[in-house]
Structure 1
Amino acid sequence: MKILCEKKELVNAITIVSKAVPTRTTMTILECILIDAAAQKITLIANDTELGIQTSIQGTIEEKGMIAIDAGVFSGIVRKLPDETVSITASGERVTIVCGKAKFEIGGRDGREFTRLPELEKNNGINITEFTLRDIINKTIFSISDNDSNKLMTGELMELKQNVLKLVSLDGHRISIRKVELAGSYSDRRLVIPGKTLGEIAKILGGDMEKQVSVFFTDKHVLFEFDETVVVSRLIEGEYFRIDQMLSSDYETRITINRRELLDCIDRATLLIKEGDKKPIILSASEENLEIRISTAIGSMDENIEISMEGREIMIGFNPRFMIDALRAIDDEEIDIYFMNPKAPCFIRNAEESYNYVILPVNFTTV
């Protein structure tokens, strides 16, 4: 095999596929990136058997073939090369990389040993813009669980109903929900996608408001296709939680508040929290005022924000980080927050319910 390509293209492709290289594995071949130049395109592939990514780059194939190269070594070399044309030649399991005056000779692996991405039928797909997909992932993924004891919580529910796509994540303390309307109408579907997969896709996507991502589903896999990149992931098996049973339209108190003011206030309050400290912020809503208080070993803070309020007064405590995450995920200038009582979750949602953030309260003691 011999190929020629520009360093910039190669670095970008390595960055994309490296997201599917496992950090620990007993199968050393999976620690490699496969360069496949056996057909008409130069394609780079990485696969940890749960998540696989392939992307194609522009270049010249002088001699067809394929080779697998250790991802860490390959990435390290290419990133340090001058910004010129890179030549990669494979003879047997020896790889020669030449760029400018630099020349590396390293070991490779037979490309036929590499585990290829599963071939999926591209049926029952949907189309969504890069911007929209990246946006709804970023605005929900922060509330997946990092605890593997409940596998379903480490993923996100993707639910499709006619022309509405919904993403849902939860970690036992909060729920994040985003809905978007699609251009077409589709068959109803529910699947749970690993959070790692969605997180990596959000990093790869360019966020173009015109470019489309095609998403295809099978019983065990999901496939995302955009530009010259294909991402294939296993789904998480099992029945996702019945979120609708956890949501309520009832409330005893509703406040309308400037989102940025509330976010900045809570953000300031966290200056008094040491890492690992679980001190809550206490919200007290009354008439046209919301008081935000916190007291820790470092000190205390008390601040007031003007609000519009409907219903009765309430005092309730929350994990400040959970509130900050939700507020940062909302673009509206003013938001509505709904409360039932100090022991029940609050709901931050808009009238259309295109977003709905549910946060459980925490117990606190008043002095």
Structure 2
Amino acid sequence: MLRFSCEKALLQSAVNTVSRAVAAKSSIPALEGILVEGSDRLTMSGYNMQTGIRTAFEAEVHEEGRIVLNARLFGEIIRKLPDDLVVFAADEKYMVRLTCGDASFEIMGLSAEDYPELPEVDDEYSVAIQQGTLKAMINQTSFAVSTNETRPIHTGSLFEINEQGLTMVSVDGFRLALRREPLERIDGGAFRFVAPGSALNEVEKICEDSDNLMTIIQGKRHLMFETGSTQLICRRLEGEFLDYRNAIPRNNPISILVDTKAMLNSLDRVSVVISEKLKSPVHCIFDAGRVYLSAKTGNGEAKDICPVEGDGQGLEIGFNNRFFMDALRYAPAEKVKMELNTGISPCIMTPVEGEENFLYMVLPVRLKA
């Protein structure tokens, strides 16, 4: 039915990749499994009805066929095998025999007939981007993806592709993260879509830190992220994404330059008294050449001073410590420009010089009088 042999390392790498899309629990037993198909090469798929990952690799296929194997059990076995050639044989009763060195296992598989087809993605538009760049862009925006299911569209990130390049935007009710990079090539003109945050987390893991290209294909209802022999397919999120251009106020009278690490350290120090039970905004007073930070809860009070360049004109403003720190932590720059207006206007963070390839917006928290 299906017989093949291949190196353990190749098999383990493929199992690790596709397992991330396997349903942990499902009413359809096949969905808790990995679909293994052998013809001229070996293909493995994982699919949880939302996101599917498929990868193909070289193996000696002695007999063509397809079978579904429980992902957890199969993964455990492969991981514990010695580093040697794995020989796989399945019969028509779905009995699978795995041998590697002196170790051998027999496990039951399932019919591949019950395994749902991964969606086809019709190639309406596509774009290619370096994997390392895409990985960084997802990493530097995904923290601001909303987890609130009442606005499903914001549980994903907006991708906008045009001549200027790729712009990625994530937003929840309290902050916004934006990254922009030039592109290798775009086919079919400008386009935009919203990709689910959960799928992008997997795309980030599939991306290598390299110049190899990742192709993003937009179909009518689905998206495909393709690199080499691995494909991730997910549905597009439908709905009206925030009009981010109009949501970001840019004529802010106060502009100061901040050392990202120094500001993070100061925020980290004053956050010591803040906890899940005892919440408090970080109280900031932006002055000439410095910003005074403080926080006060039932745990106690913490204060610090962080040097800055510029004059904050004595502006008093409060921030959620985590949101403020996230923006600084993910900003791809050692120094950022902070734009401020009033105690109830958002804080905008952008690069100090060069292209505006990132922008973070954090909404303030009202301070009690």
Tell me the distance in 2 between the aligned counterparts of 1:2 and 1:114.
Answer: 20
**Match of 2:52, as an amino acid?**
G
Tell me the distance in 1 between the aligned counterparts of 2:25 and 2:146.
Answer: 21
Tell me the distance in 1 between the aligned counterparts of 2:349 and 2:49.
Answer: 38
Shift of 1:45: 0.5
* Identity fraction in percent: 30
1:317-351 per-residue CA deviation (whole Å, 9 max, x = no partner) reads 10111111111112322211111111111101125
Shift of 1:15: 0.9
SS state at 1:255 partner: strand
Do 2:145 and 2:155's aligned partners in 1 also have CA atoms closer than 8 Å? yes
Do 1:144 and 1:195's aligned partners in 2 also have CA atoms closer than 8 Å? yes
1:363 is the counterpart of 2:369: no
TM-aligned CA distance change 1:112 to 1:163, over 3 Å: farther
What pairs up with 1:32-71 in 2 under 5 angstroms? 32-37=33-38, 39-71=39-71
Tell me the distance in 1 between the aligned counterparts of 2:275 and 2:196.
Answer: 31
- The residue aligned with 2:350 is 349
Shift of 1:310: 4.3
Do 1:252 and 1:341's aligned partners in 2 also have CA atoms closer than 8 Å? no
1:158-191 per-residue CA deviation (whole Å, 9 max, x = no partner) reads 1112242111111101011111111335522121
Between stretches 180-189 and 3-12, larger displacement belongs to: 180-189
- The residue aligned with 2:166 is 165
Tell me the distance in 2 between the aligned counterparts of 1:124 and 1:106.
Answer: 43
What pairs up with 1:273-288 in 2 under 5 angstroms? 273-288=274-289
- The residue aligned with 1:207 is 209
Tell me the distance in 2 between the aligned counterparts of 1:57 and 1:253.
Answer: 55
Between stretches 181-190 and 226-235, larger displacement belongs to: 181-190
- The residue aligned with 2:198 is 196
- The residue aligned with 2:84 is 84
SS state at 2:328 partner: helix
Shift of 1:123: 4.6
SS state at 2:78 partner: helix
SS state at 1:121 partner: coil
SS state at 2:183 partner: strand
Tell me the distance in 2 between the aligned counterparts of 1:357 and 1:163.
Answer: 19
1:299 is the counterpart of 2:300: yes
Shift of 1:148: 1.4
Do 1:98 and 1:104's aligned partners in 2 also have CA atoms closer than 8 Å? yes
Do 1:128 and 1:213's aligned partners in 2 also have CA atoms closer than 8 Å? yes
Tell me the distance in 2 between the aligned counterparts of 1:75 and 1:185.
Answer: 38
Tell me the distance in 2 between the aligned counterparts of 1:335 and 1:286.
Answer: 17
Aligned residues: 364
SS state at 1:251 partner: coil
**Match of 2:357, as an amino acid?**
S
Do 1:44 and 1:54's aligned partners in 2 also have CA atoms closer than 8 Å? yes
**Match of 1:15, as an amino acid?**
N
SS state at 1:293 partner: strand
TM-aligned CA distance change 1:132 to 1:105, over 3 Å: same
Which ranges of structure 2 fall in alignment gaps of 5 or more residues? none
**Match of 1:43, as an amino acid?**
T
1:110-159 per-residue CA deviation (whole Å, 9 max, x = no partner) reads 12321222222335211100100000000000011122121111111111
TM-aligned CA distance change 1:357 to 1:316, over 3 Å: same
Tell me the distance in 1 between the aligned counterparts of 2:278 and 2:183.
Answer: 42
- The residue aligned with 1:317 is 318
Do 2:289 and 2:311's aligned partners in 1 also have CA atoms closer than 8 Å? no
Tell me the distance in 2 between the aligned counterparts of 1:246 and 1:123.
Answer: 30
**Match of 1:72, as an amino acid?**
R
- The residue aligned with 2:261 is 260
SS state at 1:182 partner: coil
TM-aligned CA distance change 1:17 to 1:277, over 3 Å: farther
Shift of 1:256: 0.9
Tell me the distance in 2 between the aligned counterparts of 1:340 and 1:211.
Answer: 42
Do 1:176 and 1:357's aligned partners in 2 also have CA atoms closer than 8 Å? yes
**Match of 2:279, as an amino acid?**
K
Tell me the distance in 1 between the aligned counterparts of 2:6 and 2:277.
Answer: 48
TM-aligned CA distance change 1:236 to 1:185, over 3 Å: closer
Which ranges of structure 1 fall in alignment gaps of 5 or more residues? none
